[in-house]
Homo-oligomer: A and B are copies of this chain.
């Protein structure tokens, strides 16, 4: 590719920037970033690429545009780039939910312009270009969304791009994507936020400190509950139907668990705890986590 434009240079945008430069995937990389604080950081970090002040400068003649902003920014940005973009430019993104963004793209993107949605399964609880890492996508899944009218050629281009980045790619529908990630990602984040919130409520009510005793479990959840609030609000709102269903399933199971505990149902509890243990082995086997006790942190 001759020219790639990255819109939004936070954790993942800056990671892509670093990686594209390192792997020489494009001749020129342009970066559009609206936050002045981030621009200062990017300059200080001496990241590769050219910062453009206007979207127009970035969009014109680019082969690929990658949206790396929170999803709530898409509409505004689409309406702007519509003015300059031509069919020779392909668009992709890294958003964590897909049904709502599909609607936004269909409704607002200029006809004749193609956007293949992507979702690399990676990230961290920290935000900003200073935390980006060029190898953050390596061997991680990247989901690409295929719709009815998706052109095979465009899908191939985006697939090739992620392969060059180092991701493992897989194609699915927006509906399947949003269902799967409501369970493996969105619900876990919501649960983590909710657990930390409950600990805060409890601390307030009891008026003694308990956060200092969080090494017995709470600390793990607190990491996820420190994730970027704008990004996660967008995910929760965009995928609210699937997340609602996931919450209902979770509460149903939790009430059963509570009943088993209160009635000291040994058989049921032991069965549950043994079953869930197997998932960990599966996750390790599938290389979705490191094979070290306690994440190797001790």
Q: Which residues of A contact B (CB under 8 A)?
A: 96, 121-126, 131, 133, 136, 140-141, 143, 176, 179-181, 183-202, 206, 208, 210-227, 229-230, 232-233, 236-237, 240, 243-244, 246-247, 249-251, 253-255, 257-258, 261-262, 264, 266, 269-270, 272-277, 279-283, 286, 288-290, 292-298
Which B residue sits closest to A221, measured CB to CB?
Answer: B188
Contact at A293–B197, with CB atoms within 8 Å? Answer: no
Contact of A279 among B180, B200, B257 (CB under 8 A): B200
Assuming the A-B contacts A275-B197, A289-B222, are A214 and B184 also in contact, with contact meaning beta carbons closer than 8 angstroms in the complex? yes
Contact in complex: A220, B223 (CB < 8 Å): yes
Which 6 residue pairs across A and B have the least CB separation, nearest first? A185-B216, A188-B217, A226-B280, A229-B273, A196-B276, A225-B276
27 A-B Cβ contacts within 8 A? A122-B215, A125-B280, A181-B216, A183-B198, A183-B202, A184-B211, A184-B217, A185-B217, A187-B217, A188-B216, A188-B218, A191-B221, A197-B257, A197-B272, A197-B276, A202-B246, A211-B286, A217-B224, A220-B223, A222-B279, A222-B289, A223-B280, A225-B276, A226-B276, A227-B277, A247-B258, A295-B295
B290 touches A229 (CB 8 A): no
Given contacts A136-B298, A200-B279, A251-B251, contact A210 B194 (CB under 8 A): no
Chain multiplicity (copies): 2
A6 to B281, CA, bound (A): 30
Q: Is the CB of B275 within 8 A of A262?
A: no
- Tell me, in angstroms, the Cα distance from A283 to B186 when the chains sit together: 23
Contact call B140/A215, Cβ cutoff below 8 A:
yes
**Does the CB pair B216–A244 fall under 8 Å?**
no
Query: Is A213 within 8 A of B121, CB to CB?
Result: yes
Q: In whole angstroms, what is the CA distance A224 to B124 when docked?
A: 19
**Contact yes or no, A183 B199, CB < 8 A:** yes
For A136, the chain B residues whose CB sits under 8 A away are: 298
